[in-house]
Amino acid sequence: MYRNLAFDFRDEKEVYDIADQFMLGPALMICPVTKGVDTSSLKLEEEGETRIGIVSVVEGEWYEYFYGNPFADELLRKEEIDPDFLDNSKLFHFGTISMIEEPFRSATLRAIEIAEEKDLTITMDPNFRPDLWSEEERAKKLVDKIIDKVDILKLNDDEIRFFFNGEMETTAAELAEGMDWVLVTLAEDGCYYTDGDESGYTESYEVEEVDETGGGDAFMSGTIYGYLNDWDIEKTTEFANVAAALTIQDFGVIPSLPTKEEVLEFMG
The answer to whether the beta carbons of residues 246 and 218 sit under 8 Å apart is: yes
61 Cβ contact list (under 8 Å, min separation 6)? none
Q: How far apart, in whole angstroms, are the C-alpha atoms of residue 16 and residue 244?
A: 41
Residue 86's pLDDT is 93
- CA–CA separation, 229 and 245 (whole Å): 21
What is the C-alpha separation between 268 and 13, in angstroms, rounded? 51
Residues paired with residue 191 on neighbouring β-strands, in sequence order:
185, 202
CA angle 215, 97, 19 (to 5 degrees): 95
Please list the pLDDT of the chain residue by residue as tens digits (268 residues).
333 333 344 444 443 333 444 467 777 888 888 888 888 888 888 888 888 888 887 777 778 888 778 888 999 999 999 999 999 999 999 999 999 999 999 999 999 999 999 999 999 999 999 988 999 999 999 999 999 999 999 999 999 999 999 999 999 999 999 999 999 999 899 999 999 999 999 999 989 998 888 999 999 999 999 999 999 999 999 999 999 999 999 988 888 999 999 999 999 8
Closest C-alpha to 238, from 195, 187, 194, 204? 204
The pLDDT assigned to 23 comes to 63
Amino acid 62 reads W
Please report how many Cα atoms fall inside a 13 Å half-sphere around the Cα of residue 266, on the Cβ side: 20
Domains and CATH numbers, the chain: 1-41 (no CATH), 76-267 (3.40.1190.20)
- Report the distance separating Cα 101 and Cα 127, nearest Å: 15
CB 133 within 8 A of CB 139: yes
Q: Looking at the DSSP assignment, which residues form a beta bridge with residue 181?
A: 152
pLDDT at 12: 43
